Amino acid sequence: MTLRVRSARPDDWLIVETLNRASRRALPKLWWWEEYLMEDVFVVVEQARAVVGALFAWPDESPVAWVRLASLQDGIDVDDWLRVALPPVLDGLRRRGARSLAWMDYWGWAAPCLSGRGFEPLTDVETLAKLSQDLPTADHSEANVRPARQEELAAIMGVDAAAFTPHWRYGQATMSRRLNTSSLFIIAEMGSEVVGYAEGDLRPPMAHLNRVAAHPLHQEHGIGSVLMRGALRRLWRGGAQQVTLNTQANNRRARRLYRRLGFEPTGERVTAWELPLAL
């Protein structure tokens, strides 16, 4: 049967949520996509007037947009779905000035069709976990770690912009939201200067560190180690028995730090893909 695409509407929330939960071909919910159902970069795909797929991407104030929701009903061909869903999303991203679209292909179900549509592998992202609550001898650092305050948003954004390429940066609205809602949000400061931050979520007995960032000008001063120790101790006090984090497979500096602190690979690895967008 023919697939048809249309813009998503607020009243699509329930069917998209149901599809996203039921489908084996979907992304984990890591983004508040329901707030964007009126945007032209959010589409649903119908077959015989029934919604069988959805696709949403958002640039988050960056030249790099990420696919934030992708779900497809079992039995629908992935390439047929992309053929109708992807073009209107790409048009909307171009209107917003996005220069590329990145896709974290959890469970690998989209990869065979992404490569055929111009996407190329960007990097592999690996999950590491720490089960024990032991820590090696602390590195010397003059940094102080404490909870972040909303009025420090601009300084934290400065660290984020310096520490990450556009692919991985938070936009201001996202960073502000994280400050208000994350279970853990701490900063490292030297004197009165914010030189790093860490942010994560705690759902005992599990916890996940979403971000650990040190300003490049201070990366040889033990900032990452101080942040990690501060974050881990707070998460343990909150009831975490396992702490996970993700890192790029080729980020040797970060991997050395995590390994020294007792994090081990879980075997979970996700490939991120990227499609350049001609404006």
Q: Where are the alpha helices (DSSP H) in 38-192?
A: 78-95, 111-114, 153-163, 172-181
| Residues whose CB falls within 8 Å of the CB of residue 92, separated by 6 or more in sequence, listed in order | 39, 40, 41
Percentage, residues of the chain above pLDDT 70: 99
What pLDDT does 146 receive? 96
What does the block give as tokens for 65? 């947009």
Buried b (16+ CB within 10 A) or exposed e, 181-215: ebbbbbbbbbeeebbbbbbbebeeeebbbbbbbbb
Q: Residue 34 carries which DSSP code?
A: G
Distances (CA, A) of 174 to 23, 112, 230, 271, 276: 27, 31, 23, 23, 23
Whole-number Å distance between alpha carbons of 73 and 108:
16
- The CATH architecture to which 133-261 belongs is 3-Layer(aba) Sandwich (3.40)
Same fold for the domain at 3-124 and the one at 133-261?
Answer: yes
pLDDT tens-digit profile of 210-269?
999 999 988 777 899 999 999 999 999 999 999 999 999 999 989 999 999 999 999 999
What pLDDT does 104 receive? 97
Domain ranges of the chain: 3-124, 133-261
In terms of CATH, what superfamily is 3-124?
Gcn5-related N-acetyltransferase (GNAT) (3.40.630.30)
Whole-number Å distance between alpha carbons of 254 and 260:
10
pTM score, whole prediction: 0.92
Q: Look at residues 133, 267, 157, 142 and name the one whose alpha carbon lies nearest to residue 211.
A: 157
